[in-house]
Structure 1
Amino acid sequence: MNYLLLLVFSLFIHSSSATINFDYFMLAETWPPSFCQTKTCISAIPSKFSIHGLWPQNNSLPHPTQCKTTKKLVETMLKPLKPRIANVWPSLTGNNFGLWNHEWTVHGTCSTMAAFDYFKLTLDLYAKSNIKDLLQKKNITPGKGPINRKDIEDAIKVATGGLAPQLSCDQNSGNLLEVRLCFDTSTNPKYKNCSTNTNCPLNNVYLPL
């Protein structure tokens, strides 16, 4: 009996140690014209924000990465989602599956989700808001600048219920590289405040064509 209890306890400890805990999701969306000024893009440059990835995050460092490297991604897993993924989650450097596999290996394996569910959730969260449209409604359009960082944040808050996004900019040009939106970990994730840490200047942000 004591041996059986010890075995059950050992299995419980092993199972618990394998559980990945994180505090929230961060959806990173890239502005392709900015990205393609820093990298060599070999495909057509989209004129809308595209998905970079959905990242499980902790409130404090370190953030979880590469949690279950044995959970390999196979392209056929994504077949039902393929048209949606290719449209909004392209690799600007030319290897779509390479990008998706990287995001799954580094971040998706920390989500505690199956691959199909992780990618579907990413697509669904992306579809909740159109960042380019939100900016245009506030007269923030590509090619126009310089832009005040707070104006960008306030335009996006219209969709998030006043909750703050996180912005990332190229340090040399001031170009807006990414907008990051944060969500809680509920079964139907809701917007939450992102960390206000940003490398974007206050007054000289650009959204290139």
Structure 2
Amino acid sequence: MFYFRLNSFSRLLISLTLAAGLVSLAGGARAQDKRQNAPGEFDFYVLSLSWSPSFCEEAAERGRSGGRSNIQCEGRPYSFVVHGLWPQYESGFPEYCQRPSPRLNRNIVSSMLDLMPAPGLIFNEWDKHGTCSGLDGRNYFETIRKARAAIKIPPEYLELSQAKTVAPGEVEEAFIKANPGLSNAAVSVTCNRTRLSEVRICLSKDLQFRACEELERRSCRRDQVTMPPIRGG
């Protein structure tokens, strides 16, 4: 009798586990866009602008040497640099849409170093995000340049010589003031534990400001963060 009850209980546990697994799989299927990772099939872009001094301080704390941190942090002074231009779905995003990715011409890499100051960053962005744009390498990076040219950096952040404590909303408002047509629904600030990391701006495929709910869900939740001063000179 005891063996039968134990068996029944085991069967119940198995049934519940299978049911939970099916629910989880169904939820995952809903979360994934049906166009997942199809090149050129996406809804809008996110232009991500990284506050370079924060990146460099974090790299120094981790003892990172060489590579992107060495090039970006020991050269000329940088304020906001382009982290990337990321194709997005209304929910979620594609990545690594061609494996292996088409080879990126070195001349293209050299031409982008004023905006993205490390070859490793440029290659990575092409592999992960550029291959999802539906554009070839030259046109993708030309689109990045056009997107960056459409954004004006607020003047108070261009030559920041001392550390500045800011509220994330204050940075958003500064970008909105400097860029007519930009709204709170189209811009977001990200941070780590103490520092401002990035400003992210949603753009349509023709590079017009547009609202995006996904951006807000990934935004900084801290009341205040630090913007380290610009390095080098």
1:42 aligns with 2:70: yes
In the TM superposition, what whole-angstrom CA distance separates every residue of 1:29-57 from its partner, at most 9, and x where no partner exists? Answer: 11111011211332326332111111001
Match of 1:156 among 164, 175, 178: 175
Seen in structure 2, the aligned counterparts of structure 1 residues 199 and 182 have a Cα distance that, compared at 3 Å, is closer
Which residue of structure 2 aligns with residue 6 of structure 1? Answer: none
8 Å contact 2:44–2:203 — kept in the other structure?
yes
1:109 aligns with 2:131: yes
Pairwise CA distance, 1:18: 5.3
Match of 2:51 among 18, 31, 37: 31
1:56 aligns with 2:71: no
Pairwise CA distance, 1:70: 3.9
1:166 aligns with 2:185: no
8 Å contact 2:167–2:225 — kept in the other structure?
yes
Pairwise CA distance, 1:169: 0.5
Which residue of structure 1 aligns with residue 116 of structure 2? Answer: 89
CA RMSD of aligned residues (A): 2.5
- Alpha-carbon separation, structure 1, partners of 2:221 and 2:162: 17
8 Å contact 1:77–1:115 — kept in the other structure?
no
- Alpha-carbon separation, structure 1, partners of 2:124 and 2:157: 32
Seen in structure 2, the aligned counterparts of structure 1 residues 142 and 21 have a Cα distance that, compared at 3 Å, is farther
Identity in percent: 27
TM-score, normalised with respect to structure 2: 0.67
- Alpha-carbon separation, structure 2, partners of 1:136 and 1:59: 31
**Partner SS state of residue 168, structure 1:** strand
- Alpha-carbon separation, structure 1, partners of 2:95 and 2:220: 25
TM-score, normalised with respect to structure 1: 0.74
1:178 aligns with 2:206: no
Which residue of structure 1 aligns with residue 102 of structure 2? Answer: 72
Seen in structure 2, the aligned counterparts of structure 1 residues 160 and 190 have a Cα distance that, compared at 3 Å, is same
8 Å contact 1:32–1:49 — kept in the other structure?
yes
**Partner SS state of residue 146, structure 1:** strand
Choose between structure 1 and 2: higher helix proportion.
2
Pairwise CA distance, 1:102: 1.1
8 Å contact 2:154–2:175 — kept in the other structure?
no
How many residue pairs match? The answer is 177
- Alpha-carbon separation, structure 1, partners of 2:117 and 2:39: 31
- Alpha-carbon separation, structure 2, partners of 1:19 and 1:141: 39
8 Å contact 1:25–1:57 — kept in the other structure?
yes
1:191 aligns with 2:209: yes
